[in-house]
Every structure is written in C-alpha cells, then in structure tokens.
A and B are shown apart, each in its own frame.
Chain A
Amino acid sequence: PVAKRAVAQHDKEPHLVSPPLLCPGKVRHFKI
C-alpha cells in the first residue's frame, strides 16, 4: 500500500505565518 506523505499547509496553519518584516521602514516622502 502507498501512503501519502503529510505536507505542511502553511497557509492553513496560523502558527507558521512569516513574522512581520522589520526593515526597511516606511517611506515618508517618495522613493527614488
């Protein structure tokens, strides 16, 4: 018998969500 391997479902598991991006910060005027 062939068993399917379990695959992590990143989008369905909140604890695996990427941490917020720390840098760069916000653009205050405009970006050249």
Chain B
Amino acid sequence: VPAAPFVPLGCDDPESEAAAEVAVNYINGHSHHGYKFALNRIENIRVVPQGPNNNIMFLELDLLETRCHVLSPTPLENCTVRSFTEHAVEGDCDIKLQKLDGKITVLATKCHSHADSSEDVVQLCPDCPLLTSLNDTEVTTTVTAALNAYNSKTAGAYLQLLEIGRAQIQYEPAHIVYAEFAVAATNCSAEEAKDNVEACQPLPDDQSNFGFCTATTVTRPTEDLKVDCQLYGHQVPTPDAPLLSRVFQPTSIS
C-alpha cells in the first residue's frame, strides 16, 4: 500500500494547537520564577515523520505574560494576559515534541522572554508607567516596607519575600512605585519574627504556603503605602462556583 502523501501542518490546524497547548502547559509547569505565559501565536511548526504514528514536531511559539504567578493555583485559562499598556512581556520558545500513537510529549524547550520596547509603549501610551529594574532601590524599598507593614498588621504566619516579579515607576503627575512580589509563609508568627527573624523557616514546599502581593508607594504629592496580599492557601470557594474557579480572599492594608 503506498504511503499517504505527507501534508504539511498549518499553524492554526487543530493538531498544531493541541501540540502548542501541551507545550505551554509544560513550560508553565516547569517554570519556578515569574509569571505564567499564555499562547499568543504559533509562529511555525515542522513535522518530521519517524514511522507509523510516530512524528517529531518542532514548534515555534510566541507567548505573552499573564497576571498569574507561576506559583498561583489559578488555571492558565483563567489568567488574564497583561495588556500592552501594562508594558507587556513576550516569550519566544522553540519546542521539540513527539507525537506517538496520538499522545504528545515534550522532549525539549528553549525560551527567552523580553519586555516590549519602552519606545513602543511611550509612543502609544505616553502616560503609562514603564517596567523598571527589579533591583532598583526604590523598588526594593517599597517591597520591604510593604512586607513589613503587612506582617506587622496581620495575625498568622510571618511572610518571607520569595521574589519580586514586576515593578513600575511613574514620575508624573505623582511619584508612584508599584511592585508585585511572591511570598512564602514561615513557621513563625509576626510576633515571633520580631525577636529572631533568622529562626523563621519557610513552611513545606506546598503551593498553599505561597502567596502573592502587590505594593504601591506614593512619595509625592503625599506619602502613602498600600499592600495587598493573597495567600494561595487561604482561598475561599464561592458557594455557586466550581472548585476550579474559586476566588482568592485578599487581605489589604493601607
């Protein structure tokens, strides 16, 4: 029986989209820093037949950063892609997959992420705050002050900083520093941490012991600090919602 003619896959074919979904889930599942990424476009796909029902696939994907931290239990489909005006971050990925008897597995991935150019953001949105360096002094000061404020006013586990995920500074008309950061709960209360913070150890590496905070400091015209933290272990299911779409119970301190 002659072999069926090889038909190249299109980037929007269902088979390509299925492979891209597996790849994006793999990338997010194996990332330990930053945010989950969502598929924006399949740039290219190449299929190399290996035998009956056995193909190697090479995918090139264009991804966009979402608002969900990689430690967040929120499923990717419920994560909002960051808008252009938030100063979007793009991920370019090359993925090698195998499709064997209909089952797709990831063999290798290589990704690079980069923020959109500041010039592009300013051109379309002159007043939008731009992403700034995560180790900027104003950013680290804001995060430290926010976490201290949260810990000092909240009963429960003392929270430790895991990583700063994003930061933006706006200079006009007000001077505002905005930062997002991931936290881990420790075995100390805030009160215990006051005496000996070095003795506080992160709780077991379980998703429920992590959380995510946003902090905003205004230094001009008036001074203000606001912090919001969501602990992933403190999710409260809404009565009429399925478990997967439950909402966070945020704690806010001003």
Contact = CB atoms under 8 A, between A and B. Distances in A.
A29 B43 contact: no
A25 B84 CA distance: 20
Interface residues on B, range: 20 to 34
A28 B84 CA distance: 13
B60 to A, nearest CB: 8
B40 A29 contact: yes
A4 interface: no
Interface residues of A, number: 12
Given A32-B88, A32-B90, A32-B116, A27 B40 contact: yes
Given A23-B11, A25-B10, A25-B12, A30 B42 contact: no
Interface string B60-74: 001010000000000
A20 to B, nearest CB: 8
A22 interface: yes
Nearest to B10: A22
Nearest to A21: B10
B2 interface: no
Nearest to A25: B11
Nearest to B43: A24
8 contacts: A25-B10, A26-B12, A28-B38, A28-B39, A30-B40, A30-B88, A31-B41, A32-B88
10 nearest A-B residue pairs (beta carbon): A25-B11, A23-B11, A25-B42, A22-B10, A25-B12, A24-B43, A32-B116, A32-B90, A23-B44, A27-B41
Interface of B: 8-12, 16, 38-45, 62, 64, 81, 84, 88, 90, 116, 120
Interface of A: 20, 22-32
